[in-house]
A and B are shown apart, each in its own frame.
Chain A
Amino acid sequence: MKPLALFAAVGAAFAVVPFLGLPAFYESFLYLVFHWIVLATSWNLLSGYSGYFSFGHAAFFGAGVYSTAVLAGKAGWPFLLTLPVAAAVPAALGVALGAIVFRLPALRGELFALITLALMFVFATIVLNTPLDGGPGVYMSAVEVPALAPTPSGSFYLLALILALGTVGIAYSVYRSRFGTGLFAIHDDEDVAEVMGVPTYRYKLAALALSCALAGLAGGIHGVFVSYVTVGETFSGWLALNVILMAALGGTRHWAGPAVGAAAVTVMTFYFTTSDYAIAGRALVGLIFIVVILFMPNGLLGRFAVRKPLAARSEATAAGTIAVQGKREEPILVVRGAKKAFKGVQALAGVDLEVRRGEILGLVGPNGSGKSTLINVVSGHYPIDGGSMVFEGRELAGQAPHRVARSGIARTYQIPRPFAHLSVLENVALPPMFGQVRMDRRAAQAEAWRWLAFTGLEKKALQFPKDLNLHERKFLELARALASRPKLLFLDEVLSGLTPSEIDGAVRTIRAIREQGATIVFVEHVMRAVMELTDRVVVLTNGRSIAQGAPREVMRDPQVIDAYLGSAHA
């Protein structure tokens, strides 16, 4: 069944409930289930998909509650008009917080979790000490609710149903979209995602804003539903725990996981709180929480969380060439005086380098000479300290890594860094979705199939990176870099750790890549491959380029021999 039809069918089936004349208890109970589905699913949009755990969902929920409470309960606005505000206020607060925390260089995840936790107490303090509440709570029994159903409880039921369907629908479409794929990549390795072209900062903010807005909407409705709100009841740590428990129980990597978990936990808590064992029930929820995280880190729907491929193997893009624009031999990348220091170690001390279109440039030098640092600086992973890097007439210094990727530069990592929770196919399909040509997921997967065939990884396409051996992981790195059809490709020691026969195969592959029209900068210690493959060689030592030219001539340069072997041999 098509998802849209499924949503419509489920919605229609539940929509008739208020018209059946059942006791109000059923409507109110189902209302609570929908309410928790909205909260858990909205939490999951940011925290489950991108891995930034929020402990402050109650803060954003509470901001929504009090937006409606103040406007409808105190200022007399019509209820429905307050809902856009109940969504906008938490979203704005969330974005303001994210703008600070998401920029941090380290520990972003842990700090985000703790700061959101603190945020709840901050909001509670502000609301309690200002006329927003001031202490006594806000009554909303006089607020009129539009009569959608024969009874008031039926109307709340329908409001919550609509919101729940909408929220799960949003979770579903994000899950299937480019946006969602970017969030999953952030979850696994944010730095690599950024280098592959994912605008990580913007994506995190967008997911946070969406998450907060939906929680705020749930709050706006819930405040009127309970008709009397207090700071203590609204901003409770219990809510955050519950929401995380629900999402973790159902499965954070599946769009329906939090909804399933929310339904299960709501039913369970209902039985406990109506029994005589309320405290024991609370302890039991804590215990279930621990057991779920330890034994089912992927939740109830974990096994279904593997996304099916959209494009089949037979749909692989036909082998075309990467169009060479502009003249061969003209400089494509010009680096002048590039400087980079790490706590006193001058990794790059003014590197000058020119890469010409269509060539394979070998970048060699002893360990610690600055080769990898140069790649990291060009790709934007490290900000450059001084100098300039001009790629096709555009300055790269100061650009965010995802912008560098979009201008047509790709790289591999010396130690492969695949996205652990994405299939091999999805790993390779990611860069084309965020590269120069922004393909949709289907086209990107068709493209990925082509590069998997090229690197001989077709059979492993639906497996996960952990199932690959080192040789295959290196080729996964290569396929991933190629799939974005880069104009300029940095290969960082793709041959290290391979056997001689594997190296022969890889050398053939790299030749084939150049034939397709890419320009390659080849960082390598395996000299045999350097000699066979490269048109020109640049030698780095101590962060400076000391020689460049044809491979055989450069290798006879006394300075180069000195740098590699020490002066006794020169």
Chain B
Amino acid sequence: MPSLTLLGQSVLSGVFIGALYGLLGLGLTLSWGLLRQINLAHFALVFLGAYLNYQLASAGLDPLLTLAVTAPAFFVFGVALHWLLARFSVSPLNTLLVTFGFMVMIESLIQWIWTADFRRMENHYGNVRWKVGELYVPLPELLTLIVAAALAYGVWALLRYTDLGKAMRAASEDAPVAAAFGINEKRLALLLSGACAAFAAVAGVCLALSHTLAPAQIYAWIGVVFAAVMIGGLGNPVGALVAGIVIGVSEALTMALIAPAWAPLVSFTLLIAYLLFRPHRLA
């Protein structure tokens, strides 16, 4: 049995990694829940964002400032992606295939520019950490948690309380009827798709701050992040974050109490259990 401090530290790191799951899941849950698109390219975008961040930071730019470049650029990509999918009226399942193609292309691009080697961003945030009681709190991870919580809550409130958010939910429920009530659902969808891609840029910064990067790792995030998205409820940004943290903490405890190598099974087990016992919560 590991010491209490060790357990506390691993729960804390579980919360931090879970926040990253939730942040990656934010764009996914919105595009799946509201646009009926399952966007695998999102993962590749997050990594592209992280690599761009790495590149610009090596040139001396503050990691957080690089967002001013990457977020608008990704927004445009998201708009273009949705335009393409809508133009060819791609079915929900086929969006999975088309974005799979984009994921492979972006992965090849990353590998071509930055090679398959591991890259680690050196920056002044990485070395800052505080000691709270017995526990260490690193700044990059804390930043991720704050950003993830703020974005998730912000998007949730936007969807719930503003006219724009209500229009988006109406358009996703029944686009033709929403259009008949004067909602420009096509433009809203483009906007939303762009926003999802911009969220990928934000997640990319957080990923680069706290993780070592390699192109092949894109695939490693898919299972666990989608588990968070599904357990959290499609289209529910706060749900994805909470589910992400639950998964993150369970993984961390598995690592501490059993063995690190078994952690990848945790999200899958949770998801299967969820599907078995709460199948009606989906959709």
Say whether B130 faces chain A, with CB atoms less than 8 Å apart: no
Say whether A5 faces chain B, with CB atoms less than 8 Å apart: no
**Given known A-B contacts A118-B223, A119-B268, A106 and B102 have beta carbons under 8 A apart:** no
Q: Mostly helix, strand, loop or mixed at chain A's interface?
A: helix
CA distance A115 to B230 in the complex (A): 11
Say whether A140 faces chain B, with CB atoms less than 8 Å apart: no
Which of A121, A282, A285 is within 8 Å of B223, CB to CB?
A121
CB distance from B255 to the nearest CB of A (A): 13
Which of A109, A237, A280 is within 8 Å of B219, CB to CB?
A237
CA distance A507 to B256 in the complex (A): 74
With CB as the reference atom, state the residue of chain A lying closest to B109: A283
CB distance from A250 to the nearest CB of B (A): 15
CB distance from A543 to the nearest CB of B (A): 22
With CB as the reference atom, state the residue of chain A lying closest to B269: A122
CB distance from A451 to the nearest CB of B (A): 31
Say whether B188 faces chain A, with CB atoms less than 8 Å apart: no
The answer to whether A106 and B268 have CB atoms under 8 Å apart is: no
Q: For chain B, which range describes its interface: under 10, 10 to 19, 20 to 34, or 35 or more residues?
A: 35 or more
CB within 8 Å of A: which of B169-205? none
Chain A contacts for B271, CB-based, 8 A: 115, 118
Chain B contacts for A51, CB-based, 8 A: 93
Say whether B38 faces chain A, with CB atoms less than 8 Å apart: yes
Chain B contacts for A173, CB-based, 8 A: none
Say whether B212 faces chain A, with CB atoms less than 8 Å apart: no
CA distance A286 to B97 in the complex (A): 10
**Given known A-B contacts A100-B275, A283-B109, A293 and B97 have beta carbons under 8 A apart:** yes
The answer to whether A129 and B259 have CB atoms under 8 Å apart is: yes
Which of A101, A117, A297 is within 8 Å of B275, CB to CB?
A101
Which of B94, B104, B227, B262 is within 8 Å of A293, CB to CB?
B94
CB distance from A324 to the nearest CB of B (A): 42
Chain A contacts for B280, CB-based, 8 A: 105
With CB as the reference atom, state the residue of chain B lying closest to A47: B93
Which of B90, B112, B282 is within 8 Å of A104, CB to CB?
B282
Say whether A244 faces chain B, with CB atoms less than 8 Å apart: yes
Could you list 25 A-B pairs, sorted by A, with CB under 8 Å?
A53-B97, A103-B279, A105-B283, A106-B282, A110-B93, A113-B38, A114-B223, A118-B223, A118-B271, A121-B268, A126-B265, A129-B261, A129-B262, A244-B97, A248-B97, A279-B108, A283-B105, A285-B104, A286-B102, A287-B101, A289-B101, A290-B98, A293-B97, A293-B101, A294-B90
Besides A53-B97, A107-B283, A110-B38, 11 other CB < 8 A contacts?
Answer: A107-B282, A110-B92, A114-B226, A115-B271, A118-B226, A121-B220, A121-B268, A286-B108, A289-B101, A293-B97, A294-B84
B residues whose Cβ falls under 8 Å from a Cβ of A: 32, 38, 84, 88, 90, 92-94, 96-98, 100-105, 107-109, 111-112, 219-220, 222-223, 226-227, 230, 259, 261-262, 264-265, 267-268, 271-272, 275-276, 279-280, 282-283
A residues whose Cβ falls under 8 Å from a Cβ of B: 51, 53, 100-101, 103-107, 109-111, 113-115, 117-119, 121-122, 125-126, 128-129, 237, 241, 244, 248, 279-280, 282-283, 285-287, 289-290, 293-294, 297
